[in-house]
């Protein structure tokens, strides 16, 4: 039955990449353990090849009219098939927005039978769900790197939850296990967390590392109201998330309309850049995320095997099976405690006790298998050896990305140009709203014309504006042969109250000719860089060409 175990000592085939390695070790080492102890009936369906090959996915969750669909439009900078936007609950279905050169919509029933898509296990939620599930295919460079899943707006009240006709939180759990990011959106005018929204957030537990929280439509209120709204949101989240850490909340207004209150424009720009940079790294970190999820799955499968075999061992051989089964389910917490002590397993590795009790009620304990140490040894070896080998391969894969052949379209095609930039950036997202993250061309790019970049493109050296003032200070330091010593410059520079490490960096950037002295232009540059740092901007590692004093330029 377990003939594959005999191959354990044989020489393993070479693994070309991390994803292929994950497929192989899952099928040969983890899947047999899952099948033997009915893991798929209790926790998660069997993984198929599309689960490993799929692009990174982003799941958007929030109450109705919080801007989920508009957020997708903002990222893509265009509409997608099936889009509906309005203040009322408009999105009534799960929409997977994915890349395809041919644009259109694929209904749910057709989607779950497509062997190339990762949605086949969703068929278990029935026609009521599949009629509310579709895929919108869009020819967008953004979707070359990721897929995005839009969800129905979460309503308030028990009636609306029942009327969905399918297990809404169950579908969210399925997606949460497989996506790379979960973005929870809140409306600045609608901070109440309804019963269904609370259940939805609770369904996402165990995936805290994937969750990002966005306070959307923040431009609709002024800065004083925003401070109060932010505090109220943090208070509400603290009661639902039940974690001692403070959740990271991104504040912004993710649409392409004028800001109503632009007093917080800079804050919105900073927050948007942080969120987009986080999302932009998803394609590059996709293999690492799949590796992490497989490790979590393997640990859960091991614990499940211990639980099931322990329940089988406790069952009587002849009479009183039904009573014993009820007693074991009722006292499942004691079984958990016993396994924790005997196997030295952390409590955090155990499945939710209530869900486990509900599922166990529908199973015959006498049909469970006793513990087979050999199966567990194979999984332990997988975690100790194979996973470590794949971890070592991930940095090399990042290096090899640029060596992969690039499939090009027609010459001059904007999509091809975007793909070429994506190729050079080695796995980072490009196109759509992500163009602005690294915009160094237009004057509207993030940080353009501010801090160190101020004066870029100007015909006049930026330090010339304040140089008469800096010259007065320079002359007060008693220069010799037109230069001041480091000790003399230090007496003025320390007045900024910046740390010595920062002032040392400023000195190195300003001493262009590296002679240990500063002339009047170099001193003016040093004072300018001090002002840049005091204003809250970062210093460059190398001096940009536009900051080099005119007399020092080649």
Per-residue pLDDT of 191-227, as tens digits, reads 878 777 888 888 888 788 889 999 999 988 888 898 9
Question: Which DSSP helix (H) or strand (E) runs through 539?
Answer: none
Among 145-149, 155-159, 242-246, the minimum mean pLDDT is found in: 155-159
Q: Is the confidence at residue 80, as pLDDT, over 70?
A: yes
Please state at what angle helix 282-314 crosses helix 18-25, rounded to 10 degrees.
Answer: 10
| More confident: 25 or 451 | 25
Helices (H), 331-386: 332-343, 353-360, 373-381
The pLDDT, as a whole number, for residue 324 is 87
Say if residues 309 and 369 touch (Cβ distance below 8 Å).
yes
Residue 530: pLDDT band by 50, 70, 90 thresholds? Answer: very high
Question: How much of the chain is in helix, strand and coil states, percent to nearest 5?
Answer: 55, 10, 35
Instruction: Mention every residue, 6+ apart, whose C-beta is less than 8 A from residue 532.
Output: 451, 452, 454, 539
Residue in the block written with tokens 């009936």: 41
Sequence length of the chain is 554
Residue in the block written with tokens 């599309």: 50
The pLDDT, as a whole number, for residue 525 is 93
CB count, 10 Å around CB of 187?
Answer: 19
**pTM of the predicted model, to two decimals?**
0.77
DSSP bridge partners of 190 = 187
Q: Is the confidence at residue 413, as pLDDT, over 50?
A: no
The pLDDT, as a whole number, for residue 437 is 66
Say if residues 144 and 99 touch (Cβ distance below 8 Å).
yes
CA–CA distance, 12 with 7 (Å, rounded to integer)? 9
For the segment 440-458, the average pLDDT, to the nearest whole number, is 75
For the segment 75-82, the average pLDDT, to the nearest whole number, is 87
Instruction: Mention every residue, 6+ apart, whose C-beta is less than 8 A from residue 157.
Output: 194, 195, 196
Q: Is the confidence at residue 157, as pLDDT, over 90?
A: no
The pLDDT, as a whole number, for residue 550 is 87
Secondary structure letter of residue 96 according to DSSP: E
Q: Is the confidence at residue 424, as pLDDT, over 70?
A: no
Q: Where are the beta strands (DSSP E) in 486-530?
A: 517-519
The pLDDT, as a whole number, for residue 34 is 92
For the segment 247-273, the average pLDDT, to the nearest whole number, is 87
CA–CA distance, 245 with 247 (Å, rounded to integer)? 6
Say if residues 2 and 379 touch (Cβ distance below 8 Å).
no
Q: Is the confidence at residue 422, as pLDDT, over 90?
A: no
**What is the SS3 assignment for 413?**
coil
Q: Which two tokens stand for residue 291?
A: 């590796």
The pLDDT, as a whole number, for residue 177 is 87
């Amino acid at each position: 039955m377990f003939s594959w175990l005999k191959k354990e000592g044989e020489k393993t085939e070479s693994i070309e990449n991390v994803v292929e390695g994950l497929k192989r070790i899952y099928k040969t080492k983890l899947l047999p353990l899952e099948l033997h102890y009915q893991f798929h009936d209790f926790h998660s369906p069997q993984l198929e090849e599309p689960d490993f090959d799929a692009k990174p996915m982003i799941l958007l969750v929030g109450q109705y009219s919080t801007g989920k669909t508009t957020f997708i439009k903002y990222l893509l900078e265009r509409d997608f098939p099936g889009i509906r936007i309005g203040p009322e609950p408009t999105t009534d279905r799960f929409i997977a927005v994915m890349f395809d050169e041919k644009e259109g919509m694929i209904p749910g029933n057709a989607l779950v039978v497509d062997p190339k898509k990762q949605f086949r296990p969703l068929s278990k939620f029935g026609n009521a769900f599949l009629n509310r599930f579709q895929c919108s295919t869009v020819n967008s460079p953004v979707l070359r790197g990721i897929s995005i899943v839009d969800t129905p707006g979460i309503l308030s009240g028990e009636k609306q939850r029942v009327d969905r006709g399918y297990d809404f939180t169950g579908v969210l759990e399925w997606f949460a296990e497989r996506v790379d990011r979960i973005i929870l959106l809140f409306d600045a005018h609608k901070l109440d967390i309804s019963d269904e929204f609370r259940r939805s957030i609770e369904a996402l537990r165990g995936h805290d590392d994937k969750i990002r929280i966005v306070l959307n439509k923040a431009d609709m209120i002024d800065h004083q109201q925003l401070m109060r709204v932010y505090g109220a949101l943090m208070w509400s989240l603290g009661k639902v998330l039940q974690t001692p850490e403070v959740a990271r909340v991104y504040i912004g207004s993710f649409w392409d309309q004028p800001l109503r209150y632009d007093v917080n424009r800079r804050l919105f720009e900073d927050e948007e850049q942080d969120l987009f940079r986080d999302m932009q790294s998803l394609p590059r970190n996709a293999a690492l995320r799949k590796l992490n999820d497989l490790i979590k799955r393997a640990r859960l499968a091991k614990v499940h095997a211990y639980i099931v075999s322990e329940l089988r061992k406790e069952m009587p051989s002849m009479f009183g099976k039904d009573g014993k089964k009820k007693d074991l389910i009722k006292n499942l917490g004691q079984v958990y405690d016993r396994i924790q002590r005997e196997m030295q397993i952390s409590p955090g590795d155990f499945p939710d006790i209530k869900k486990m009790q509900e599922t166990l009620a529908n199973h015959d304990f006498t049909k469970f298998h006793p513990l087979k140490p050999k199966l567990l040894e194979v999984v332990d070896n997988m975690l100790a050896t194979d996973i470590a080998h794949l971890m070592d391969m991930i940095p090399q894969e990042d290096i090899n990305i640029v060596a992969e052949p690039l499939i090009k379209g027609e010459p001059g095609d904007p999509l091809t140009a975007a793909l070429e930039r994506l190729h050079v950036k080695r796995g980072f997202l490009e196109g759509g709203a992500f163009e602005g993250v690294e915009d160094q061309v237009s004057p509207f790019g993030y940080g353009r014309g501010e801090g160190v970049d101020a004066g870029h493109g100007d015909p006049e050296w930026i330090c010339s504006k304040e140089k008469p003032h800096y010259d007065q200070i320079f002359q007060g330091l008693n220069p010799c042969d037109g230069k001041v010593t480091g000790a003399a410059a230090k007496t003025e520079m320390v007045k900024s109250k910046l740390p010595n490490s920062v002032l040392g960096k400023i000195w190195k950037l300003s001493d262009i000719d590296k002679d240990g002295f500063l002339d009047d232009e170099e001193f003016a540059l040093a004072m300018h860089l001090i002002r840049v740092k005091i204003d809250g901007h970062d210093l460059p590692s190398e001096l940009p060409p536009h900051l080099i004093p005119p007399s020092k330029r080649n």
